[in-house]
C-alpha cells in the first residue's frame, strides 16, 4: 500500500480485514471533492456507495484502493484488496487466463486461473483473446482476476454500469453468490439504488464531499426487488 500524502496508512492485521477511513480529504486544483469522509466496513460486510455523478465516489474508491497519493486522512485497509472498474481493463494481447493471473507469480498459475474462471462460468474461454468476449464476459473475467487474489476487500467501481439490463442482472447475481461463498468486505460504487439494495448490507450516500446518509438493508438474502420493504428504502435515497 502506497503511503503517498495520506497522513496515516496502516494495513489492518490479517485477522480483521475491515476498512476504517477517517477525515479523508481530496481536492483537485483547490476544488474540494472529498471533505472529511468517515467510513467503516466490517470484515465480510457488503457496503454500497451511492451518489450523483461527480460526487466523488470513484475518488473515494481509488483512495481506499491506495491508488491515489493525493488524498489526506486516516486510512486502515486490509493488505489484500482487489479492484474491478467499470471498464474491464483486460490486456488485449494476453489470453484470458493470463489476464486473470497478471502480475502473480508462483506455481500452477494456469490452474489458479482456471479455478477462478470456473467460479465465474468462463473456464471454457480460458485460451480466448479478450477481444472475442462480450461486455458481460469481460467483466466476469475482471471478477475472476480479482477473485484469484483471494482479497479480504473487494472494491467495485460501477462494474455493471456498461452492461445491458439482463446481463447486469446476471452479473449482480454472480457477485451475490461469490460474496456469499468468499465473504470479502465489499465496497460497491454504483449510481443504481436498486443494485445497492439488492446486494448490500448498508448503502451510503455521498454528497457534498461527505457521507450524507446511510441505510441498513436488513432484508434477508437472497433478495428480490419485489420485496415491499424496498419501496420505503428506495424513497429515502
Tell me how far, at minimum, the Cβ of 26 lies from ligand ADP, in Å.
8
Q: Binder to ligand ADP among 46, 59, 72, 152 (CB under 6 A)? A: 59
Q: Binder to ligand ADP among 30, 54, 107, 228 (CB under 6 A)? A: 54
If phi over 0 gives left and psi between -120 and 50 gives alpha, with beta otherwise, what is residue 217?
beta
Alpha carbons 132 and 178: distance in angstroms, whole number = 25
Q: Which CB sits closer to ligand ADP, 32 or 231?
A: 32
Q: Using the rule CB under 5 A, is 58 a contact of Mg ion?
A: yes
Q: Using the rule CB under 6 A, is 28 a contact of ligand ADP?
A: yes
- Residue found by looking up cell 496502516 in the block: 10
Cα-only R_g, the chain: 18
Q: Binder to ligand ADP among 30, 53, 218, 232 (CB under 6 A)? A: 53
Q: Binder to ligand ADP among 45, 55, 116, 141 (CB under 6 A)? A: 55
Tell me how far, at minimum, the Cβ of 33 lies from Mg ion, in Å.
11
Q: Which CB sits closer to ligand ADP, 54 or 103?
A: 54
Q: Which CB sits closer to ligand ADP, 53 or 224?
A: 53
Q: Does residue 158 sit in helix, strand or coil?
A: coil
Q: Using the rule CB under 6 A, is 190 a contact of ligand ADP?
A: no
Task: Supply φ then ψ for residue 194, to 5 degrees.
Answer: -65, -40
Q: Binder to ligand ADP among 37, 47, 56, 233 (CB under 6 A)? A: 56
**Opening angle at CA 122, ends 98 and 225, nearest 5:** 125
- Helix, strand, coil share of the chain (percent; to 5): 30, 25, 40
- Residue found by looking up cell 454504483 in the block: 190
Three cell numbers, residue 120: 465465474
For residue 93, the partner it binds in ligand ADP, Mg ion, none, with Cβ less than 5 to 8 A by kind, is none
Count of beta carbons in the 10 Å neighbourhood of residue 134: 11
Query: Applying CB under 6 A, which residues contact ligand ADP?
Result: 28, 33, 51, 53-59
Q: Which residues bind Mg ion (CB under 5 A)?
A: 57-58
Amino acid at each position: 500500500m502506497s503511503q503517498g500524502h495520506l497522513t496515516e496508512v496502516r494495513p489492518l492485521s490479517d485477522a480483521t480485514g475491515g476498512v476504517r477511513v477517517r477525515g479523508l480529504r481530496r481536492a483537485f486544483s483547490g476544488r474540494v471533492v472529498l471533505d472529511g469522509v468517515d467510513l467503516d466496513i466490517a470484515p465480510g460486510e457488503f457496503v454500497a456507495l451511492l451518489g450523483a455523478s461527480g460526487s466523488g465516489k470513484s475518488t473515494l474508491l481509488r483512495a481506499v484502493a491506495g491508488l491515489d497519493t493525493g488524498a489526506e486522512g486516516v486510512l486502515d485497509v486490509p493488505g489484500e484488496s482487489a479492484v474491478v472498474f467499470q471498464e474491464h481493463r483486460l490486456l488485449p494481447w494476453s489470453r484470458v487466463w493470463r489476464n486473470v493471473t497478471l502480475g502473480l507469480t508462483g506455481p500452477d498459475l494456469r490452474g489458479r486461473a482456471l479455478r477462478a474462471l470456473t467460479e465465474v462460468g468462463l473456464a471454457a474461454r480460458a485460451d480466448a483473446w479478450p477481444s472475442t468476449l462480450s461486455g458481460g464476459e469481460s467483466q466476469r473475467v475482471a471478477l475472476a482476476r480479482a477473485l484469484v487474489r483471494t482479497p479480504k476487500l473487494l472494491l467495485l467501481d460501477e462494474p455493471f454500469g456498461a452492461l445491458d439490463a439482463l446481463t447486469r442482472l446476471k452479473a449482480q447475481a454472480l457477485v451475490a453468490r461469490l460474496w456469499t461463498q468468499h465473504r470479502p468486505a465489499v465496497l460497491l460504487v454504483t449510481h443504481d439504488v436498486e443494485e445497492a439494495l439488492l446486494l448490500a448490507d448498508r448503502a451510503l450516500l455521498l454528497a457534498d464531499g461527505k457521507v450524507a446518509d446511510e441505510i441498513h438493508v436488513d432484508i434477508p438474502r437472497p433478495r428480490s426487488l419485489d420485496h415491499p420493504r424496498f419501496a420505503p428504502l428506495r424513497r429515502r435515497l
